[in-house]
Amino acid sequence: MVAKTEFGKVAVLYGGHSAEREVSLRSGQAVLAALQAQGINAQGFDPAEQPLTALVEQQFDRAFIVLHGRGGEDGTIQGALEYLGIPYTGSGVLGCALAMDKVRTKQVWQAAGLPVAPSAVIARGRAVDWQALITDLGGKVMVKPAQEGSSIGMSPARNAAELEQAVALAHKYDREALVESWLSGPEYTVSILGDQALPAIRVQSTHEFYDYDAKYQAGDTQYHCPAGLCELEERALEQLAVTAFHAVGGKGWGRIDVMCDHNGNFKLLEANMVPGMTTKSLVPMAAKAVGMSFEQLVKRILELSEV
pLDDT given for residue 69 in this prediction: 84
- Known binding residues: 257, 270, 272
Q: Is 184 a catalytic site residue? A: no
pLDDT over 80 (residue 306): no
Average pLDDT score, the chain: 91
Q: Which of 27-36, 69-78, 263-272 has the lowest mean pLDDT?
A: 69-78
For residue 213, the model assigns a pLDDT of 52
Helix/strand/coil (H/E/C) assignment for every residue in 36-101:
HHCCCCEEEECCCCCCCHHHHHCCCCEEEECCCCCCCCCCHHHHHHHHHCCCECCCCHHHHHHHHC
The average pLDDT across 77-106 equals 96
Order of all β-strands in the sheet with 10-13: 42-45, 10-13, 62-65
Instruction: Please determine, for residue 1, whether its predicted confidence score (pLDDT) is greater than 50.
Output: no
- Kindly indicate the confidence band of residue 20, based on its pLDDT and cuts at 50, 70 and 90: confident
Class in CATH terms, 4-90:
alpha beta
The closest of 79, 81, 97 to 45, measured between CA atoms, is 81
pLDDT at position 222 is 87
Q: What is the pLDDT at residue 111?
A: 97
Is the pLDDT score of 113 beyond 60? yes
Task: Identify whether 20 is a catalytic site residue.
Answer: yes
Flag whether pLDDT at 214 surpasses 60: no
Q: Provide the 3-class DSSP secondary structure of residue 18.
A: coil
The CATH number of domain 98-115+184-303 is 3.30.470.20: yes
Q: Is 295 a catalytic residue?
A: no
8 Å CB contact between 98 and 248: yes
Cis peptide leading into 226, omega within 30 of 0?
yes
- The residues facing 192 across adjacent strands are 197, 254
130 contacts 160 by C-beta, under 8 angstroms? yes
Of 213, 70, 243, the residue nearest 146 (C-alpha) = 70
Active-site residue, from 20, 73, 164, 234: 20
Catalytic residue, from 24, 27, 119, 150: name it: 150
| Predicted pLDDT at 210 | 52
Strands 10-13 and 62-65: parallel
Task: State the pLDDT at residue 3.
Answer: 43
Over residues 159-191, the pLDDT tens digits come to 999 999 999 999 999 999 999 999 988 999 999
- What stretch of H or E contains 134? helix 130-136
Q: How confident is the model at residue 70 (pLDDT cuts 50, 70, 90)?
A: confident
- Beta-sheet pairing, 141-145 with 62-65: unpaired
**How many Å from the N-terminal Cα to the C-terminal Cα in the chain?**
10
> How many CB atoms are located within 10 Å of the residue 155 CB?
20
Domain map (residue ranges) of the chain: 4-90, 98-115+184-303, 119-181
Q: Is 288's pLDDT higher than 50? A: yes
pLDDT band at 152, cuts 50/70/90? confident
As to burial, measured by CB atoms within 10 angstroms (0-12 exposed, 13-18 middle, 19+ buried), residue 125 is exposed
Q: Which parts are annotated binding residues for Mg(2+)?
A: 257, 270, 272
The pLDDT of residue 2: 45
> What is the predicted pLDDT for the residue at 206?
66
CATH of region 119-181 = 3.30.1490.20
Catalytic residue among 151, 181, 281, 305: 281
Instruction: For 221-246, write each residue's pLDDT tens digit.
Output: 789 999 999 999 999 999 999 999 99
